[in-house]
Amino acid sequence: MTLGPFLLGAPLALLGLIALPVIWYILRATPPAPQEAALPSLRLLDDVEPQDETPARTPWWILLIRILAAAAAIIGLAKPIYAPGAQATGEASGPVLVVMDNGWTSTPRWSEMRSAASAALNGAGRDTAGHILLTAPRSLNTDPGERLTRTDLSARLDSLDPVSWGVDREDALERLDASGIQPGRILWVSDGLHPQSASDFADALAARAPLSVYAAPPRGPFAISGLVSQADGAALTLHRVNTGDAAQTYVSALTLDGAALATAEAEFAVGETTATARFDVPAAALARVERFAITGEQGAGSLWLWDSSARSRRVGLVSGDATAQPLLSDMHYVRQALEPFAHITDGSIEELVAANPDAIIMTDIGQLAPDLEERMTAWVEDGGALIRFAGPRLAAQADSLVPTPLRRSSRAIGGALTWEEPQSIGSYPETSPFAGLAAPADIKIRQQVLARPDPELTSRTWARLQDGSPLVTGASRGQGTIVLFHVTAGPDWSDLPYSGTFVEMLRRAIAAGRGETAEDAEGTYTPEVVVNGYGQLVSPGPNASPIAAADFGGLVPSEANPPGLYRGPAGTRAVNTAAGGIPALVTTWPAGTELLGDAQAQTVRLGGLLLGFAGLLIALDLIIALAIAGRLPVLRRGAHAALIALGAFTLIPMADRPAEARQFDDMRPNLYSYGVSPGYGTEIEQTGEIDKAMEALLEMRLAYIETGDATVDRTTRAGLRGLSLVLFRRTSVEPAEPHAVDPETDALDVYPMIVIGLPDNAEPLSSRAVERLNVYLRNGGALFIDTRRGGSVAGTNSFADLDRVLPGLDTPPLQPVPQDHVMTRSFYLIDGFPGRYQDRQLWIESSGVGEQATRRGDGVSGLIIGDADYLAAWAIDDNGRPLLSVDGGDEQREMARRFGVNLIMYVLTGNYKEDQVHIPALLERLGEGEDGETAPPVGAPGEIDLEEILRRQEQQPE
């Protein structure tokens, strides 16, 4: 039933309005008057004025509320619908054909388009049949020839959803011609776009029956058409069709599971249809982004998927080198090679494993702490790619995270001590990810880590030298891969880091480590996740088909190849809805086409609103009745005041933070401004630990690790106090009181040197403590270990106690300190390193010999090991007197103190005195000493030091 712009779904319910006068009369009725009886005693109340009076009948305004409630309920049950389009379209003979544009551009206003189609049905007769024609082809399209009743047609419209690909109006006309229907009226609910096909399509529809068009183009930004990856972020291009006003919108960067990582703003100028959203976020965060979406907008076009081919790889770097000279470190060459195609993150192994990057690259790390090795193994088996480079540490000791067993040494190729010549790259196996790469003859390999003979070595070799020895090996471990370059990442062992082949090798190694290939000219990609019409990621449907790699270039999304992520040999490839182009707005329509506005096309169901209004009036009437009867509880003003006062009193302490909290906040930024590594920051956020870190930052202090043996710990502390006192008196270094540190929790990188005095049967340190010591050494710290055994160390890496007490310590190859080492002249000229015991050997990191000698970092050995009980020789009591005896008496104690001074100078200043070019000139100017004796030669033990030389020089006459 139609009443002007109103349609009634159950018009018979309006018969209830006839009962409104009856309801009015009943509500106005009053009960019969009470029977009067004269009681003589009531005469006493004649002069009393009554306080409450009962009305003779119901007040008119209460009657009005009740009548309105009844009327609203009756009209609501009649299911009224406001449909102004019903007057415009009117009745027509024959079925109604509803044509729907259901492509991806319809999603922003899909609910309005569906309401417009419902309005067309509401304007037709109750017995009028209908047909539906969808312009976006799909296998579930309704046959336009299927005749539907009005009820079925309405239900079918409610069940329709837009698709994530474009419309094909030519195909729609072909299906309409094949159906052979003769509609009495046609309503085309259009997205208002694609002018190249809209005109011909409207003419063809108008030739069949009177045509009405409701156009609903998107009002705001509705599509992302492109993304450009930049060094410092990404830039996206957004589109809209209405250009009348300036507008701004936001784009969110999301992970695949929907977590928002960043948001960027895009501003549309007046008259502009495009805008750019720029993401300037850290590379580590941007590398986690899987998709971008326009905030607050639905639709497949408002989503842009970022596949692995377009997205930069996220690579974590862990170096075994000190960082004092980063441009000379191995990691510098790796970083330069990765920058064109990867986002780089530095951090500890523990942090990188938790961040789950695409790959982790480690340079010259021999072994990991047991717990950390287990964690790294689990990460690799879950699909991680671990790429390692060899070096002295890995040659000395390797853990289980290598693709093939290694020999415990390195092979020098070429040089004065070998007949061999440096090798060039030989070949790449056909199954290797490096197959097809060039092998320039000018790339020479001078040293390598050798693999042990193994039956699977051939299958695990990715690159060989000319003599057949492996240059790069790789092996699968669970779902991940471990890759080993048998040379250093820097130019110490080979020329590979200087070449472009190195860049391509790293790119392919990262791709292969993730189970991908760097090249995808061949292969097939299967749909992994697809985008539906509302811009949501869903599982692929049964009609989604694989795509050949060569077909991605000009692919147009369709039901067989919907937008989404497709996985293949080179990782994931994205098919984005709007990548093929943005349709333009239809500005002119064919003559004779009836255009419906928003007011005419909309329909509003009023039944629920009226029933809700009736319920509200009934509730209001109930409240009024209770108020009149005095049944409502009344809250006293005193209770209100008490509650407010209590709440204010409770919130007063929260208005100002405690002094301790303010002090902590004031100290935290200062702590990080002094360079405390964030890797250690989580533990030092306790009040006591912050004080210790701040003390070490403001005053140079030596540190030692407590072992649990009270005697040894007291001796260690006394020894460092004695050494600090000698430094204070004799040098410009003025150390403060030494600190005892816990390597599991304390900040370590604020101390220039950490000392361990090992007691007998010392308890082993935890894996976390050892790994943090490894990080400390890699960051340029120095670890001095005094075994206190008083015996000689048999050979390199034969420290049994160290392997037990420090399991997983990344120990480099060690060598005795040579006689010409800079430590013998960093301050004093000495030729030995005595402690409590004399004639003991001191061990430092090996730098190789001859032409294979290498200088890593700043040239300072990060690990120094001795057994002469140096701490006992340095130890003093509270009065500054020696605490323990020394084998050689005071003379040996003095030499032990001089060695301690040289050790600290070596750790603090590095190798700047290694050349000592000024010593011969000074001695030549000195000639003979004051007593007529010839000045002793450089290096005479304990006879002369640099300060003495300078003093004599000042006394010489001009």
Identity at 396, one-letter amino acid code: A
Strand-strand pairing, 2-3 and 385-389: unpaired
- The answer to whether residue 955 scores a pLDDT higher than 60 is no
Nearest C-alpha neighbor of 151 from the set 133, 132, 126, 134: 126
Say how far apart CA 356 and CA 333 lie, in whole Å: 23
Structure tokens at 651: 């919130």
CA distances from 285 to 260, 335, 552, 788 (A): 10, 18, 28, 49
Stronger pLDDT, 531 or 185, i.e. the higher one: 531
pLDDT at residue 671 greater than cutoff 50? no
pLDDT at 483 over 90: yes
* Residue 600 near residue 120 (C-beta atoms within 8 A): no
pLDDT of residue 487: 93
DSSP states along 704-744: EE--S-HHHHHHHHHHHHHHHHHHHHHSS----S-EEE-TT
Residue 486 has pLDDT above 90, yes or no: yes
What's the rounded Cα separation, in Å, for the pair 577 and 557? 7
Q: Is 643 helix (H, G, I), strand (E, B) or coil?
A: helix
| Tokens found for residue 358 | 């695409």
| More confident call, 416 vs 902 | 902
Place of tokens 């290498």: 854
Task: Let me know: does 468 contact 527? Beta carbons within 8 Å.
Answer: no
63 Cα distance to chain centroid: 65
- Mean pLDDT within 731-754: 91
Residues 6+ apart with CB under 8 A from 752: 700, 702, 781, 782, 904, 907, 908
pLDDT in tens, 548-575: 888 887 788 998 999 999 887 767 888 9
CA-based nearest residue to 227, from 292, 164, 280, 172: 292
The residue ranking higher by pLDDT, 301 or 668, is: 301
**Which residues have C-beta within 8 Å of that of residue 782, sequence separation ≥ 6?**
752, 753, 754, 860, 861, 862, 863, 864, 907
Is the distance from CB of 812 to CB of 860 less than 8 angstroms? no
What pLDDT, on a 0 to 100 scale, did the predictor assign at position 267?
93
Tokens linked to 14: 């309006």
Nearest to 126 by CA among 150, 147, 91: 150
pLDDT: is 325 or 734 the higher one? 734
**Tokens 């300072």 map to which residue?**
860
In this prediction, residue 481 has a pLDDT band, given cuts at 50, 70 and 90, of very high
Tokens 């990582």, located at residue: 261
State yes or no: pLDDT of 534 exceeds 90. Answer: yes
Query: Tens digits of per-residue pLDDT, 363-375?
Result: 988 888 888 889 9
| Spatial separation of the C-alpha atoms in residues 320 and 136, rounded to whole Å | 59
Lowest-pLDDT choice from 210-214, 279-283, 476-480 = 279-283
pLDDT in the model for residue 312: 65
Measured between alpha carbons, how far is residue 592 from residues 110, 185, 199, 205 in Å? 26, 14, 12, 11
pLDDT digits (tens, 9 = 90+) for 810-840: 888 888 888 888 888 888 988 889 998 888 8
- Neighbouring C-beta atoms of residue 197, cutoff 10 Å: 18
- pLDDT value for 402: 93
Least confident of 229-243, 431-445, 733-747, 851-865: 851-865
Closest CA to 308 of 295, 321, 291, 294: 291
* pLDDT at residue 694 is higher than 70: yes
**With 0-12 CB in 10 A as exposed, 13-18 as middle and 19+ as buried, what is 534?**
middle
Tell me if residue 333 falls in helix, strand or coil.
Answer: helix
CA distance 777 to 588: 74
Q: What pLDDT was estimated at residue 684?
A: 37
Q: Which amino acid is at 575?
A: V
Cβ burial of 651 (10 Å; 0-12, 13-18, 19+) is: exposed
> What's the mean pLDDT in 225-254?
84
pLDDT for the residue 947: 54
Distance CA 251, CA 240 (A): 14
Distance from the Cα of residue 304 to its chain's centroid: 18
Residue 43 pLDDT grade (very low, low, confident, very high; cuts 50, 70, 90): confident
How far is the C-alpha of 508 from the C-alpha of 192, rounded, in Å? 47
In this structure, is the dihedral angle defined by the CA atoms of residues 690, 695, 700 and 704, taken in order, positive or negative? negative
Is a pLDDT exceeding 90 seen at residue 703? yes
Average pLDDT score over residue span 469-488: 93
- H-helix or E-strand spanning residue 63: helix 60-77
Query: Any idea what DSSP says for residue 928?
Result: B
Q: Considering all CA atoms of the chain, what is the largest pairwise distance in Å, rounded to the nearest integer?
A: 153
Lowest-confidence region among 66-70, 410-414, 684-688, 696-700: 684-688
Confidence of residue 126 (pLDDT cuts 50, 70, 90): low
Instruction: For residues 68-75, give the mean pLDDT.
Output: 88
Among 749-763, 872-886, 908-922, the range scoring the smallest mean pLDDT is 908-922
What average pLDDT does the chain have?
79
Residue 783 in this model has a pLDDT that exceeds 80: yes
Q: Report the candidate in 483, 389, 479 with the shortest Cα–Cα distance to residue 433.
A: 483
Rounded mean pLDDT, 136-153: 80
pLDDT score at 607: 79
Whole-Å CA distances, 618 to 68, 72, 75, 78 = 9, 11, 16, 19
Looking at per-residue pLDDT, the higher value among 507 and 124 belongs to: 507
- Distance between first and last Cα of the chain: 125
